[in-house]
Amino acid sequence: MPAGAREVARVAGVSLSTVSRTLARPDQVAPETREKVLAAARSLGYRPSPAARGLTTGRTQTLGLVVPDLENPYFTSVVKGAQRRALSLGYALIVADTDEDSRQEVELVRSIATRADGVILCSPRTPEEVIVDLAADCTMVLVNRPCGDVPTVTIDNRDGVRQALDHLRALGHRRIAYVGGPRGSWSDDERLAAVRDAEHESDLEMIELGSFRPYVSGGVAAADLVLASGATAVLTYNDLLALGVLDRLRQRGVDVPGRMSVVGIDNIPAAALTTPPLTSVEVPRAASGSAGVDLLLQRLEPERPVPPAEDRLAVQLVVRGSTGTAP
Amino acid sequence: MPAGAREVARVAGVSLSTVSRTLARPDQVAPETREKVLAAARSLGYRPSPAARGLTTGRTQTLGLVVPDLENPYFTSVVKGAQRRALSLGYALIVADTDEDSRQEVELVRSIATRADGVILCSPRTPEEVIVDLAADCTMVLVNRPCGDVPTVTIDNRDGVRQALDHLRALGHRRIAYVGGPRGSWSDDERLAAVRDAEHESDLEMIELGSFRPYVSGGVAAADLVLASGATAVLTYNDLLALGVLDRLRQRGVDVPGRMSVVGIDNIPAAALTTPPLTSVEVPRAASGSAGVDLLLQRLEPERPVPPAEDRLAVQLVVRGSTGTAP
DNA sequence: CCCTACTCTGCGAGCGTTTGCGGTATCGCG
DNA sequence: CGCGATACCGCAAACGCTCGCAGAGTAGGG
């Protein structure tokens, strides 16, 4: 049903190869011929088949993106950023969600790798050796975790924690709880390390809680521990946890920030809508996605003149109503 | 680098076609041969090339999904549902975000259609004729809007509004504001129609406001109008708007639900986390996505024994703290 | 006016599969 | 023991495109 290049060639009165060339390297074909071909193509509504092209070129003009959970606002933004960038560079984006199940992840990545030129993997908890293994036969880049010499885009986790803690310290807090995220995830490791650094380098007394699953429910569970710890402020692994803490605190009638200050990390959209609005560390989520695409393309098409992708993104504390002076 | 079927054939000592058959119709090949082939394939890590297969079969085992905004929690869930279903049926999913720009949408859909077997389109505001046109040469299904005879999965908008209004009426509210969404979107039309029906069929006095862009900012803008209207309760086109209303109301010190009850539609995750938690109409967002996939596959593979897809999904009011008896 | 160099175009092989068609064993049965 | 049926398997032609190679035509220089 859809017209093929052969048909275009017939209509334009040229050979099949000329049609192909007209589209691929227009400068190598006489302007006059070019016009004829383009006109024919247009009139037939010709669209080259990416599958067929891919067969000979080995390029599908498709990228893959694998995340743990599409509904997690963090990854949602990564997907959005990646999608937008991929599209603007002429690539389609296959997205997949592992549902936090890293067992099937390998198979998933491999299967996507057969249809894509490369894949961007967001997989905080998959064992390093599994990833290295995978990277051996799929061209891929990582987001939010370094791993062997697989190219990676990360964010400056330690600086984020530092900013949050500096803020709380400036408000007079000295005893601060950290509600940890998934043990073994690179981000949690980094954040925890920064927490410990802060404790050693200042007069802060840090209380490490957790780990908790990085969802609202985890925060709800953590809130009572935070309260019992005697801390006057709490920093959570991510905003979802902070949201849960906030919710539980409200339920227990605890005044925020009067009695307890709360800081999250990620600055997801919902953070601005809580009562009080959540102070949080803004992390460039969408930029991570688009940087992932850039990094991948840098390997796929070294000749394309894209600016070399940033691979360590800066973060910035956003102060809102959930933090105040220590009681 | 990756081994091809030809290589597998060589190792297994059979012909290329036998390899192909072994994978496609294992029952048509002798068990003994089958084992040899499978063993060879496994040892070589053979993975058939979807592109090459697609060339001859015309099937790419890939579906497309186009939504207006990936970061809108509504569509996020649709994507998640579609992704999950597609994956479980052996399809990859290309997702794209139009950024609410329906001008490029047509081109986007067409370009995705060349790489996919069919596309699921979520496009509330694109003109009917444009879609019909598109549907003429892409196999596609719609989500959340009917259009000509293009297959569609919708939700029961009118019933949702009815449930919300019944709830408010039962609480004693008689003067209720409706904060409208994007004019011209099918969902808004339906919801508005249901609002008017309710007004005619009961003693409710409805105040129509808007339209507003269906984001938090729109709700913030609407809140003051709601307050000035003398209504004791407000139903919004969607939760994002309700969140905005809630936020502005809090800012102005209006007691919810004491002085004003608020009801949203969609029941996005954030709805449970506001203060007070938002009463909302739960709509099966993920189910819309998976139903979209089912509907599409029903056309693509009529022989596959999937349960005939539901095409009109039921909704259910979820009562939370933002609604109370009329003052 | 010829030769070279260059530009443009067509030829054909191949990319990795699927699949219809036909061939060869093998088997059952009379 | 011979025949047809049956079960497997291989051959080769597609699928729609790209790209190296070479032929044809043209322009320019000597």
B250/A275 touch (CB, cutoff 8 Å), yes or no = yes
Contact between B289 and B129 under an 8 Å Cβ cutoff? The reply is no
* Token digits of residue A89: 């560079």
The residue type of A71 is: E
Burial class (CB in 10 A: 0-12, 13-18, 19+), A300: middle
Q: Is the pLDDT of residue A31 over 90?
A: no
DSSP B214: S
Contact between B65 and B122 under an 8 Å Cβ cutoff? The reply is yes
CB B238 under 7 Å to nucleic chain C? no
Of B99, B115, B275, the CB nearest to A92: B115
Domain A62-154+286-313 has CATH 3.40.50.2300: yes
Contact between B244 and B222 under an 8 Å Cβ cutoff? The reply is yes
Answer with the residue of higher pLDDT: A222 or B184.
A222
Provide CB contacts within 8 A for B164, sequence distance 6+: B235, B263, B265, B279, B281, B317
CA distance B99 to chain A (A): 9
A216/B94 touch (CB, cutoff 8 Å), yes or no = no
* Averaged confidence pLDDT in chain A: 93
Residue B211 has, within 13 A of its CA and on its CB side, a CA count of 14
* pLDDT tens digits along A142-197: 999 999 999 999 999 999 999 999 999 999 999 999 999 999 899 999 999 999 99
CA distance A56 to chain B (A): 10
3-state class (DSSP) for residue B99: coil
CA distance A205 to chain B (A): 30
- How far apart are the C-alpha atoms of A173 and A164, rounded to whole Å? 11
**Protein B135 CA to nucleic acid C19 C1', in Å?**
30
Q: Which residue do the tokens 């490369």 mark?
A: A118
Longest dimension (CA), chain B: 84
B62/A94 touch (CB, cutoff 8 Å), yes or no = yes
Provide CB contacts within 8 A for B297, sequence distance 6+: B89, B91, B304, B306
Contact between A227 and A249 under an 8 Å Cβ cutoff? The reply is yes
Burial class (CB in 10 A: 0-12, 13-18, 19+), A311: middle
What residues in A contact B81, CB-CB < 8 Å?
none
In the complex, which nucleotide's C1' lies nearest to the CA atom of residue B9? Answer: D10
B114/A49 touch (CB, cutoff 8 Å), yes or no = yes
3-state class (DSSP) for residue A138: coil
**Protein A205 CA to nucleic acid C30 C1', in Å?**
98
Q: Is the pLDDT of residue A256 over 90?
A: yes
- How far apart are the C-alpha atoms of B83 and B12, rounded to whole Å? 36
**Residue ranges near strand D (C-beta within 7 Å):** A 4-6, 16-17, 19-21, 23-24, 46-49, 52-53, 55-57; B 13-18, 21, 28-34, 52, 55-56
* pLDDT tens digits along A261-303: 999 999 999 999 999 999 999 999 999 999 999 999 999 988 7
What secondary structure does DSSP assign to B132-189, as a single string? HHHHHHS-EEEES--BTTB-EEEE-HHHHHHHHHHHHHHTT--EEEEE--STT-HHHH
Instruction: Return the CATH number of B62-155+286-310, one of 3.40.50.2300, 3.30.70.890, 3.40.50.261, 3.40.47.10.
Output: 3.40.50.2300
In the complex, which nucleotide's C1' lies nearest to the CA atom of residue B28? Answer: D8
Backbone angles phi and psi of B151, in degrees to 5: -60, 145
Answer with the residue of higher pLDDT: A43 or A168.
A168
CA distance B2 to chain A (A): 8
The residue type of B62 is: T
Instruction: Return the CATH number of B5-48, one of 3.30.70, 3.40.1000, 3.20.20, 1.10.260.
Output: 1.10.260
Q: What is the pLDDT of residue B307?
A: 66
- How far apart are the C-alpha atoms of A278 and A265, rounded to whole Å? 10
B274/A273 touch (CB, cutoff 8 Å), yes or no = yes
CB A29 under 7 Å to nucleic chain C? yes
**Protein A4 CA to nucleic acid D14 C1', in Å?**
15
Q: Which residues of chain B have pLDDT under 70?
A: 1, 305-310
In the complex, which nucleotide's C1' lies nearest to the CA atom of residue A2? Answer: D16
**Protein B20 CA to nucleic acid D4 C1', in Å?**
30
Tell me whether the CATH fold assigned to A62-154+286-313 matches the one assigned to A157-283: yes
Q: What is the pLDDT of residue A78?
A: 98
What residues in B contact A216, CB-CB < 8 Å?
269, 273
In chain A, which residue's Cα lies nearest the Cα of B2?
A137
**Protein A300 CA to nucleic acid C15 C1', in Å?**
19
Alpha carbon A76 to chain centroid distance? 8
For an interface test with A, the pick among B44, B53, B75, B80 (most A C-beta atoms closer than 10 Å) comes out as B80
Fold that domain A157-283 belongs to in CATH = Rossmann fold (3.40.50)
First to last CA, chain A: 74
Q: What is the pLDDT of residue A249?
A: 97
Q: Is the pLDDT of residue A308 over 70?
A: no
Residue A267 has, within 13 A of its CA and on its CB side, a CA count of 16
Nucleotides of D under 7 A from a protein CB: 7-12, 14-20
In the complex, which nucleotide's C1' lies nearest to the CA atom of residue A57? Answer: D18
Q: Is the pLDDT of residue A30 over 80?
A: yes
CA distance A37 to chain B (A): 20
Using DSSP, how many helices (H) and how many strands (E) does chain A show?
12, 12
Domains of chain B, residue spans: 5-48, 62-155+286-310, 157-283
Report, in angstroms and rounded to the nearest whole number, the Rg of chain A calculated over CA atoms.
25
A94/B137 touch (CB, cutoff 8 Å), yes or no = no
**Protein A39 CA to nucleic acid D18 C1', in Å?**
21
pTM more than 0.85: yes
B273/A247 touch (CB, cutoff 8 Å), yes or no = yes
Answer with the residue of higher pLDDT: A27 or A324.
A324
Q: What is the pLDDT of residue A1?
A: 67
